[in-house]
Amino acid sequence: MKIIGIIPARFASTRFPGKVLADIGGKSMIQRVYEQSQKASALSNVVVATDDEKVFSHVREFGGEVIMTASHHQSGTDRCFEALGKQKESFDYVINIQGDEPFIAPQMIDELAANLDGKTELATLIKQITEERKLFDPAEVKVVYDLQMNAIYFSRETLPHLRGIPRENWLKQHAFYKHIGIYAYRADVLSTISALESSALEKAESLEQLRWIENGFKIKVAITDLESIGVDTPEDLEHARKMLDRF
């Protein structure tokens, strides 16, 4: 399988504008994501997709491959689709790598890529939840899946609900999983899902992957033991700077 890694990098983030250019130990966040992604053995190419001239110029300056995309995209998925269409060569799959995870492990990308066999339409990673505070945190998206390792549903609520069991005992009674926000799309499927209208469940949970499930697409999930650090706020950035020596 020929796979391209695309890193959507929108400058005007709602919660933290300009975060992709924030400095972390002498390198910008987007540079760290790019360099980590390049270490993944499964990727044939890595490119940043942005709508901002500052980001475009910065990526060029550190020697990265970058492409300009439109400013109207509502999601990284849509930006990935435009970026794929501007490539000079064809790819079987696209892996959407979050531009705000400066320490993403290359092994995570390879773990996801291992599930891309031509039949898989969409894929993503999940990780078992081991902390009670994360189990009931709406910011941690939970997922349940079927016996074929296809996602059944994603929610900000805790899934499944354990009837008749005190919440403090839930982790002892059942294995819960959170979503790791890295996606793989088969190229033809990416074209199709980018044209879909927003769905009712997507609007309710503010989770775009529910649109795909509602429209009948299968999302393969793979369990990882690895963790990544996302930067959504200035406080997250300070945390990432403190964590630098661990990576």
- Please tell me the predicted confidence (pLDDT) of residue 230: 86
- Please tell me the predicted confidence (pLDDT) of residue 238: 87
Walk me through the domains of the chain, giving residue ranges and CATH numbers.
3-237 (3.90.550.10)
- Among residues 101, 161, 170, 107, which one has the least CA distance to residue 133? 170
Q: What is the pLDDT along the chain (247 residues), one digit of tens a residue?
A: 999 999 999 887 767 888 999 999 999 999 999 999 999 999 999 999 999 999 999 999 999 999 999 999 989 999 999 999 999 999 999 999 999 999 999 999 999 999 999 999 999 999 999 999 999 999 999 999 999 999 999 999 999 999 999 999 999 999 999 999 999 999 999 999 999 999 999 999 999 999 999 999 999 999 999 988 888 888 888 888 888 777 6
